Structure 1
Amino acid sequence: MAWNEPGNQGKDPWGNRGGKDQGPPDLDEVFRKISSRFGGGNQFSGLGAGLVLLGLVLIWAFSGFYKIEEAERGVKLRFGQFHELVEPGLKWKPTFVDTVYPVNIQRVNRLTASGMMLTQDENVVRVEMEVQYRISDPRKYLYSVTSPDQSLSEAMDSALRYVIGHTTMDNILTVGRDKVRRDTWDELEGIIESYDMGLVVVDVAFKEARPPEEVKPAFDDAIAAQEDEERYVQEATAYSRQVEPQARGQAERMLQEADAYKRRVVLEAEGEVARFAQLLPQYEAAPDVTRERLYLETMEQVFSKTTKVMVDNDGGSMFYLPLDKIIQNQSGSAVQQPKMAEPTPSQTRPVRNDFDESRSSRTDRTRQGRN
C-alpha cells in the first residue's frame, strides 16, 4: 500500500505521521540538522561556502588556459566584440569574458569550379579549374562575410564563365589555355577584392577543357592538325637556326679571303713596281742586256711550268721532248728504268749551237755595256 493511500497510518518519506503533511521538508531545516550533528551551524556553513567558492575560482582559472599553434592566429572576442589577434603560444583568457577562435593562416585550401559553358564563338565546352587560396586576415575571414569559402566558390564560377564567354573554343582547347588561366586569376582577384574576405589567391590551375562527346572526334582531329603545324614550325625554326650561322660563317670566310686576295695582289703589284723601278737605271745603262735578261728570266718561268719542250733546229722541222711521259714512267716503275731514245746529233746540235750563240752574244753585249 502506498504511503499516501487512504487508510495508511505510517510515516511518509519526509517524516510526517499520519499523512497529513505531504509536502517536502524544508532545506534550511535539513542543513540545520546536519550542521548540529557536526557541532555547529553557522561556522560550518561559512567554511563550506568558502571551500565551494575557492573550488569554483580554481576551475575558472584553469579553464582559461589555451594554446595557439604556430600556423594559427587567434581571434579574441571580449563580450562578443572583436578585441585583438592572438599570436602563437600558450595563452590565458578569462572564461565567460573572452572567447578565442583559432584560424589556420598557412594551410593552402582548394576549391574547384567546373561546368558546361558557352564560348565566344557560340560553342559549348566543359571546363574545370581549381583555385588555391589561404587566409590572410583571420578577422575579415570570420566576420566580413557570412560564408567566405562559399563566396569564393561563387566568385570563381563567375570569373571563369566570364573569361570563357570572351574566348573562342580553339584557344580554350589549344594554345590559349595559359591566357584563360591568367585572365581568370585576374578576374577572380578583382571580385574578391571588393568583398574584402581576408583571402589571398595562391594559384589558379586549368585542369581540364574538352568539347561535348558528340563532336569530340572532330575536335581531336583539329587539335592534332594544330599540333602538327606547331611541330613543323618548330622544326623549320630549328633548321633556320642551324643553317643561318653556317651561311654567315661562309660569307664571312669569303669576305676574309677576298680581302686577303686583294691585299696580296696589291702587295705583289707594289713589289713589281719596286722591281721595275730598280731595273730602270740598269736598263738606261744597258738596254740590250737588260731586255735579254728579262726575256730569258721570263722564258725560264714559262718553261718551268710546262711538261712539253718545243725545239726548233732551223731546218724546217720541229720536235718536242715528252717530259711528262718520262717523269710518269720513272715514278711508275722503280725497278725497271724506261729507255729513252737518244736524240740524233742533227737534232741536238742546233739547240746547243743556238744556246751557245745566244750565250756568247749576251756576253759580248754585257761587255760592251760595261765599257
Structure 2
Amino acid sequence: MAWNEPGGNSNNQDPWGGRRGGDRKGPPDLDEAFRKLQDSLNGLFGSGKKRGGSGGDDGGSGRSGGFGLIGISLAVLAAVWLYSAVYVVDEQEQAVVLRFGKYHETVGPGLNIYFPPIDRRFQENVTRERAYSKQGQMLTEDENIVEVPLTVQYKISNLKDFVLNVDQPEISLQHATESALRHVVGSTEMDQVLTEGRELMASEIKERLQRFLDTYGTGITVTQVNVQSAAAPREVQEAFDDVIRAREDEQRAKNQAEAYANAVVPEARGQAQRIIEDAHGYRDEVVARAEGEANRFGMLLTEYHKAPEITRQRLYLENMQDVLSSTSKVLMAGKEGQSNLLYLPLDKMIDNRGASPAPAAPAGSAAATGSDLGSRVATDLQQRNSRSRESR
C-alpha cells in the first residue's frame, strides 16, 4: 500500500520514516524504501491486491512483485535488443547479413533490422576510395637495386566477396601488391624504372594486381596505381645522379641537333630544288636550240639541193665573216712561189683611218705596199659585211 493512500499510514509519515510537514527523526530505512518502490511498480504494471489485510494477501502481493521484476527485466532486454537490431545504412554503404553463419542477404541504403545473435551484420562504405602505400628495395632486370615507392587506390566492388571469400582482404591486397611490383620491376631495366618507364610500369602493375585480386575473389577493384620517382640506394646515389645528369645532357644535345637540322634541312632542300629547276631550264634551252639548229639545217639542205655552188659560196663567206669579225688580226699568205707571210693588224688599221693621213711613203717601198694592201683588204671586208647584212 502506498504511503499516501487513505488509511495506509495512520501516523501521517513519509516513506523515509519522517512525519509530513515536520523534521525527519533518523536515516531512511532502505528495506522499507525498496518495498514501497516495489509496491509502486506492481501498481504500475497492474499487479494483484494492495498490501494490508490478511497474511494471504501479503503472500500474493510478494508473488506479484516477483512477476513485476521479471516483466521489467524483459522489457529492458527487449528495448536493448531492439536498439541494437535496428540500424541505418547510408547512401554510400552496403551491409551483408549472415544468419547462422551463412550468407543471408545484402542490404542497401535505408532503415533495416536484423536478429542478433542468430544474425551477424557487416557494414562497409563501398564508394569511398581507399589508399595503400608500399616501398622497398627491388632487383631490376639488369641486376641493379632500386627503391620503388608506389600508392594503390582501391574500393570495395563486391561486399559479399569482401566479407566471405577472404579472411583479411586488405592484407591480401598488400601481399598481392608486393608480388605484382616485384614481378614488373624484375622484368624492367633500371633506366626505364628511373626515367620514362614509370607510367608503363604502373599500368602493368595495375593489370597484374587486379588479376590476382580477382583470382582470390576479394571483391576489391583497383582504381589507380601511382609509381612515384624511383631512386637508387643511398650508398650509390651520387653515381646515379651523375648518370641522370649525363642523360639530361644527352637529351639537350639531341634537342639542339634537331633544332639545327630543322633550320638547315629545309634550306638545303630549297637549294637542291632550285638547282633541279635550273637544270631543267638548261635542258629545255639546249633541246630547243638543237631543234632550231636542226630545222635550220634542214631548210639549208633544201636550198643547197636547189643551188649547190651558190649555197656553198654563201656558207663559206658567212663563216669567214663570223671568224674575221671576232678577231683583230689577219695572216695572209703570199702568192705561189713566195714565202712571205703578210700580217694585217685590222684593229689598228681601222682606227688609223679616222686619224690624220700619214706621210706618203715612197713608191715601191714595202711600207707603202703594205699600207695600200691593208687599206684595200679592209675596204673589201667592209663592203662584204655590208652586202651580207643587206642580203639577210
Using structure 2 for the length normalisation, give the TM-score.
Answer: 0.59
Report deviation, 1:114. 0.4
Match of 2:347?
320
Q: Paired residue for 1:173? A: 194
Taking the aligned partners of 2:299 and 2:147, their CA distance within structure 1 comes to 95
Q: 2:112 corresponds to which residue?
A: 93
Counterpart pick for 2:293 among 272, 280, 298? 272
5 Å matches for 1:1-371?
25=39, 28=42, 66=88, 68-69=90-91, 72=92, 74-75=94-95, 77=97, 79=99, 81-84=103-106, 86=108, 91-94=110-113, 96=115, 101=123, 103-105=125-127, 107-174=128-195, 176-237=197-258, 239-240=260-261, 243-244=264-265, 246-291=267-312, 293-294=314-315, 310=328, 316-320=343-347, 342-343=354-355, 350-356=377-383
Distance (Å, rounded) in 2 between the aligned partners of 1:357 and 1:268 = 28
1:77 maps to a residue whose letter is: V
The verdict on how the C-alpha distance between 1:142 and 1:273 changes in structure 2, with shifts beyond 3 A counting, is same
Distance 2:284 2:200 in 1: 59
Give the superposition deviation at 1:318: 0.6
**TM-superposed deviation, 1:316:** 3.8
Indicate the SS of the match to 1:114.
strand
Within 2, Cα distance between the matches of 1:357 and 1:12? 172
1:7 alignment partner in structure 2: none
Is the 2:95–2:124 contact (alpha carbons within 8 Å) kept by the matching residues of 1?
yes
What's the counterpart of residue 64 of structure 2? Answer: none
Separation (CA, whole Å) in 2 of partners of 1:33 and 1:82:
43
Offset, 1:207:
0.9
Task: State the secondary structure of the residue aligned to 1:172.
Answer: helix
For structure 1, list consecutive stretches of 5 or more residues without a partner in the other structure.
Answer: 4-9, 37-48, 324-339, 367-371
Aligned-residue Cα RMSD (Å) equals: 5.0
Shift of residue 253, structure 1, vs aligned partner: 4.5
Q: Distance in 2 between matches of 1:361 and 1:127?
A: 99
SS of 1:210's equivalent? coil
Q: Measured at CA, do residues 112 and 300 of structure 1 come closer, stay the same or move farther in structure 2, by a change above 3 Å? A: farther
Distance 2:38 2:136 in 1: 70
- Partner of 1:197, secondary structure, is coil
Secondary structure at 2:279's aligned position in 1?
A: helix
Shift of 1:205: 1.8
Total equivalences in the alignment: 309
Shift of 1:128: 0.8
Report the equivalent of 1:44.
none
The Cα shift of 1:223 comes to 2.3
Structure 2 residue runs without a partner (length 5+): 1-15, 18-26, 51-70, 333-341, 358-370
SS at match of 1:146: coil
Q: Which has the higher contact order (CA 8 A, sep 6+)?
A: 1
2:247 counterpart SS class? helix
Are the aligned partners of 2:303 and 2:311 in contact in 1 as well (CA < 8 Å)?
Answer: yes
Cα distance 1:187–1:78, how it changes in 2: closer, same or farther (>3 A)?
A: closer
TM-score, normalised by the number of residues in structure 1: 0.61
Q: More deviation in 227-236 or 345-354?
A: 345-354
Q: Structure 2 vs 1, CA of residues 136 and 254 (structure 1 numbering), >3 Å: closer, same or farther?
A: farther
Identical aligned residues as a percent = 33
CA drift at 1:181: 3.2
Note if contact 1:312-1:351 (Cα within 8 Å) is conserved in structure 2.
no
Higher radius of gyration, 1 or 2: 2
Contact 1:75–1:82 at 8 Å: present in 2 too?
A: no
Structure 2 SS opposite 1:93: strand
1:288 Cα deviation from its structure 2 partner: 4.4
